[in-house]
Amino acid sequence: MPAEVSRESGRRVFLSAEWRDLVMLNYEVEPPLLRSHLPPGTELDSFDGRTYVSLVGFRFLRTKISGRLAIPFHRNFDEVNLRFYVRRVEAGEPRRGVVFIREIVPRATIALVARSAYGENYISLPMRHEVNLSAAGGSAFYAWRVNGDWCAMEAKVSGTASPVREGSVEQFITEHYWGYTKRRGGGSLEYRVEHEPWRVWTSREAGFKGNTDTLYGRDLTAIMRRPPDSAFVAQGSSVLVLAAKKIASR
């Protein structure tokens, strides 16, 4: 069965899915804390001179490999990731991307496929969620168990979800359409993620609790225990994750 090809870019699709009910907790950090995680060929991106990490929990739905093949019992699952933001210029084109420090899913097969295809830092842990969102708002909660203890993130929202405002921190966080990972043998992998702009609810009642020292290190865990500098819930959309390619280090 031939792989699907993106109509927008003409590139081969590695994965198609829906990302829904995204809780996004965003924390300002000092740049030196992230530089050891930078893939070669990229540099840190910032918003108004501020560097951010984001703890993101969401629902992965209707997942298909190559845009066509659905794997039984692996179509719908939760994911929680910790990510930060980078940029790269290719042939004069600025590319704004995401680097994942750690990605958590509930099934070992999913983690294995992602590690093999992209070299991403996926692990499998027990997870659960509670999502109660409607046109009037509501709440979304994601939890994962580390060393026998549950960690959790949650955001409560009200009112109607709106398009992100041009030039806002919400636009900065949600509209990075490239992914980058370090290759074990040196250099980096680059891939594109295609989705429509998301509608979001801004949250003033959101946060994280738990001990994730073994996942993210003490410094990043300590930052995440404070109230987020911004928080919102995105409705999400259908997404295409395109095939990765190697990029040269500069």
One-letter amino acid identity for 24? Answer: M
CA distance 182 to 13: 21
Q: Per the structure block, which two tokens stand in for 204?
A: 């003033």
Taking alpha carbons only, the member of 219, 241, 202 closest to residue 118 is 241
CA distance 107 to 127: 9
Q: What is the DSSP string of 72-119?
A: TT-SSEEEEEEEEEEEEEETTEEEEEEEEEEEEES-HHHHHHHHHHH-
Segment (H or E) for 27: strand 13-29
Per the CB < 8 A criterion, the answer to whether 67 and 19 are in contact is no
Per the CB < 8 A criterion, the answer to whether 52 and 26 are in contact is yes
CA distance 247 to 250: 9
Residues linked to residue 143 through DSSP beta bridges, in sequence order: 128, 152
Pairing of strands 188-194, 77-90: unpaired
Question: So what's the pLDDT on residue 221?
Answer: 95
Instruction: State the number of CA atoms in the 13 A half-sphere of 108 facing the CB.
Output: 0
Per-residue pLDDT of the chain (250 residues; tens, 9 = 90+): 445 665 565 578 988 999 999 999 999 999 999 999 999 999 999 999 999 999 999 999 999 876 555 564 468 999 999 999 999 998 889 999 999 999 999 988 777 877 776 778 899 999 999 999 998 899 999 999 999 999 999 999 999 999 999 999 999 999 999 999 998 778 899 999 999 999 999 998 999 999 999 999 999 999 999 999 999 999 999 999 999 999 866 5
Per the CB < 8 A criterion, the answer to whether 47 and 169 are in contact is yes
Give the chain's domains with CATH numbers: 13-124+162-202+222-242 (2.40.400.10)
